[in-house]
């Protein structure tokens, strides 16, 4: 019954598609796979896995849809960390600031670095659902799809 209840609460996401093949080929498919994993983890009551996958989705969406140029411009030869990417995206896009993604990343980091297992509270599952909802909004309002990335 709980699985069905979580399934009904799950946000549905529309992922922009490419019009033609590019160097970013495979990007939407990989994103779909990450979202699918996050969704399954949420539905089956695995919030630690779900929130880790949401964090991965967020990072991928920021890199591929919002800040594709940052992948080629790495500081000291190292890729930008998620916090840096998010800060830059928030400066450029008003709707990202309104999503309060920093709070979700903080929760995800806490789970990933201090997870102790055990029973899952409804609040934790709701936080995952909200992260999925924020990720959905981020994808649907992306300024460009991978085929529009300047070469």
In the structure, what pLDDT confidence band is assigned to residue 93 with cuts at 50, 70 and 90? very high
| Per-residue three-class SS string for the chain | CHHHHHHHHCCCCCCCCCCCCCCCCCHHHHHHHHHHHHHHHHHCCCHHHHHHHHHHHHHHHHHHHHCHHHHHCCECCECCCHHHHHHHHHHHCHHHHHCCHHHHHHHHHHHHHHCCCCCCCHHHHHHHHHHHHHHHHHHHCCCCCHHHCCC
Q: What is the mean pLDDT of residues 85-108?
A: 91
In the structure, what pLDDT confidence band is assigned to residue 70 with cuts at 50, 70 and 90? confident
Q: What is the mean pLDDT of residues 53-62?
A: 90
CB atoms within 10 A of CB 49: 18
Higher pLDDT, 10 or 85: 85
In the structure, what pLDDT confidence band is assigned to residue 140 with cuts at 50, 70 and 90? confident
Q: What is the mean pLDDT of residues 83-109?
A: 91
- pTM of structure: 0.74
In the structure, what pLDDT confidence band is assigned to residue 24 with cuts at 50, 70 and 90? very low
């Amino acid at each position: 019954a709980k699985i069905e209840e979580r399934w009904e609460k799950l946000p549905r996401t529309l992922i922009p598609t490419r019009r033609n093949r590019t160097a970013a080929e495979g990007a939407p498919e990989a994103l779909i796979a990450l979202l699918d994993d996050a969704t399954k983890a949420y539905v089956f009551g695995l919030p630690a896995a779900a929130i880790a996958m949401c964090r991965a989705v967020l990072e991928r969406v920021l890199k591929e849809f919002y800040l594709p140029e940052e992948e080629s411009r790495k500081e000291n030869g190292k890729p930008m960390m998620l916090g840096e990417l998010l800060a830059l995206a928030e400066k450029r896009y008003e709707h990202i600031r309104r999503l309060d993604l920093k709070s979700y990343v903080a929760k995800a980091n806490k789970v990933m670095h201090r997870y102790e297992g055990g029973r899952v509270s409804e609040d934790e599952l709701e936080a995952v659902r909200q992260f999925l909802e924020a990720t959905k909004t981020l994808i649907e309002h992306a300024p460009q799809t991978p085929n529009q990335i300047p070469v």
